[in-house]
């Protein structure tokens, strides 16, 4: 026989198969508390000012995201590989003489 459970306060509770949870109110996020900027010492009083401040100083906020910490791929200028091969061959040919 099939059973269905929900978890409340870390405890599993068996419910009927047609159980529908009560709708919850949307969660609202409070504004941030004022803080002093580590960039220039000004007081930042809201999320919008925080975003403006980061944009103005070309900064990013890093939390759990690590994509900004990944090294950027290095692209060599066109023709560099051929120039290195040519220079290496010249050095090797001079050594052989």
Q: What is the pLDDT of residues 14-40, one digit of tens each?
A: 999 999 988 888 888 888 999 999 999
Domain ranges of the chain: 29-59
Distances (CA, A) of 40 to 37, 46, 52, 55: 6, 16, 13, 13
pLDDT (mean) for 46-53: 94
Give the pLDDT band of residue 86 (cuts 50, 70, 90).
very high
- Percentage of the chain exceeding pLDDT 70: 100
CA 54 to chain centre: 15
16 Cβ contact partners less than 8 Å away, ≥ 6 residues apart? 4
Cβ–Cβ < 8 Å for 34, 44: yes
> What is the pLDDT confidence band of residue 64, given thresholds at 50, 70 and 90?
confident
The band of 75, judged by pLDDT with boundaries at 50, 70 and 90, is: confident
Cross-strand bridge partners of residue 13: 6
For the entire predicted model, the pTM comes to: 0.42
CA 1 to chain CA mean position, Å: 45
């Amino acid at each position: 026989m099939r059973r269905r459970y929900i978890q409340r306060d870390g405890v599993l509770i068996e419910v009927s198969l047609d159980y529908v949870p009560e709708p919850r109110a949307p969660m609202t996020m409070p504004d941030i508390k004022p803080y002093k900027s580590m960039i220039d010492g000004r007081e930042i009083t809201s999320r919008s000012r925080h975003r403006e401040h980061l944009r103005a100083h070309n900064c990013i906020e890093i939390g759990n995201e690590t994509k900004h910490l990944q090294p950027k791929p290095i692209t060599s200028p066109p023709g560099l590989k051929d120039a290195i091969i040519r220079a290496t061959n010249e050095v090797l040919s001079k050594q052989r003489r």
